[in-house]
A = this chain, B = another copy of it.
């Protein structure tokens, strides 16, 4: 179709039609035969295409990614890959093989070392590293995909999809592709006559292929309470007393890790002793953490919206629809895009951990040669300056009487002063600066910027950074809780004493907490087995977490 200018305005649509016609003899309706997927992909994907591959941090379109790696690079090459998570070896193999050339991504946990090496060796050109939400945003702006390769549980022959508990990134990826004349190929575990519910309408989907085996799914958010230490319990008590209670935190996100798992397991015990049930921590944006089961069962939790699912939690969730978001079939509905929006804008607090924090409070999980990327933490762990509604916790961050003063989100960094190998967390300068320079990044890969952090919790105490009136005061407050690290050794005991009196720093005793009370007996569950008990047998942990 050509306008008055003589140019065509339907090049994408025409190109799609041409590609579809090439697989007409392979496909039966919308179904691609499993054993001809590589051949079909060679016809449906063109050199230089932008291909978005799912690739999120739990669910992997593993059959499609393995098939992509088998494509002949003489025919299909120079692909520009867009992936929220680089998790599987073939995600990088395709670059080694010359099938793909350019990469935009969010997170590369399991492949962080290899990706750094490949960038240094010039085998891979990184466009940028993103948070999940900004990567989704760019799918509608300047990273519009030509092809989407995604994973679902079930499909019917009309292409309707059931993504069930692990909906995650799928709706965002498919929407950006389907509505811009891109090609959407979905691997499913099963083709069925009737779906439990429809998560994605068939009119957004071009092809279904039944995968050789179910898509890969990782239990990323399960933490065994056995590994929670008494230092973490102490920190958890300080967080509950010194932050959650003090600022009346109603809604929150917990990052992944043992620190926040400790808090989850302290709510029904220590939190109960403080009389806080029904008063704080009612609304959550987080994956279905098994360590939250005791708090749910004890009546602490009103609602949870989830980014993704968690292996083993399916049956428990389906029996707790008052708490979780579930579909008409009873199983979880997760949605990473909306949960990130909620986690950014709609909760009082983000609390997470880090591997390094510098003297100003900047932090990063990037260390020596590992380009891990960002995931969702920076999106939730910053002061959302576009937010306009207020809550008690938000308003509590105001420290001036300026008529235009605004609140802040609580952004809490919770770390032990040293990592398990005894490396200090508090350092003069972040490794991220060097790693970023080597990778040719235009900005150092900082996870959370110091001026967004409102509180730091360590085993030493709590630093109330939002009260600091200058950068110097912020530094002093950080040093006061930084223990025997390069930063902590700078602390001046008289300054720390002054900060305590002014309320910028609180030690456990300032919060009415005795260090000797921080015992594992305080945990509502001390093992995965006890979590299963709390759940009435509904939680079914993966084998690797079973010790009985």
Q: Which residues of A contact B (CB under 8 A)?
A: 1, 3-5, 7-13, 104, 127-131, 133-134, 136-138, 140-142, 144, 160, 172, 175-176, 178-181, 197-204, 250-251, 282-283, 285, 297, 299, 303, 305, 319-323, 325-328, 333, 335, 337-339, 341-347, 362, 374, 378-390, 395, 403-407, 429-430, 433, 441-446, 449, 452, 536
Q: A128-B389, A406-B446 are in contact. List 14 more A-B contacts (CB 8 A).
A: A3-B319, A9-B319, A11-B322, A127-B389, A129-B389, A134-B389, A141-B347, A179-B326, A180-B303, A180-B325, A378-B386, A380-B386, A403-B433, A404-B449
* A322 cross-chain contacts in B, Cβ below 8 A: 8-13
Q: B251 touching A142 by the CB < 8 A rule?
A: yes
Q: Are A385 and B3 in contact (CB under 8 A)?
A: no
The answer to whether A141 and B251 touch (CB under 8 A), given A9-B320, A322-B10, A442-B390, is: yes
Interface of A is mostly: loop
Please name the residue on chain B nearest to A158 by beta carbon: B198
Of chain B, the residue at the smallest CB distance from A406 is B443
Measured between C-beta atoms, what is the minimum distance from A532 to chain B in Å? 13
Copies of this chain: 2
| A442 pairs with B395, CB closer than 8 A | yes
Residues of B within 8 A of A138 (CB): 342, 345-346, 389
Residues of chain B lying within 8 A (CB to CB) of residue A201? 160, 197-201
- What separation, in Å, do the CA atoms of A179 and B327 have in the docked complex? 5
Please determine whether A140 and B325 come into contact, CB atoms closer than 8 angstroms: yes
Identify which of B137, B321, B387, B444 contacts A403 (C-beta below 8 A): B444
Q: Known: A443-B390, A444-B403, A449-B406. Contact between A536 and B385, CB under 8 A? A: no
A134 and B285 contact, CB distance less than 8 A: no
Q: Chain B CB within 10 Å — which of A129, A337, A345 has the most? A: A345
Contacts of A403 in B (CB 8 A): 429, 433, 444
Q: What are 14 sample pairs from A and B whose C-beta atoms fall under 8 A apart?
A: A8-B322, A133-B345, A134-B384, A137-B344, A138-B345, A141-B342, A142-B346, A179-B327, A203-B328, A337-B337, A344-B386, A374-B388, A404-B433, A404-B449
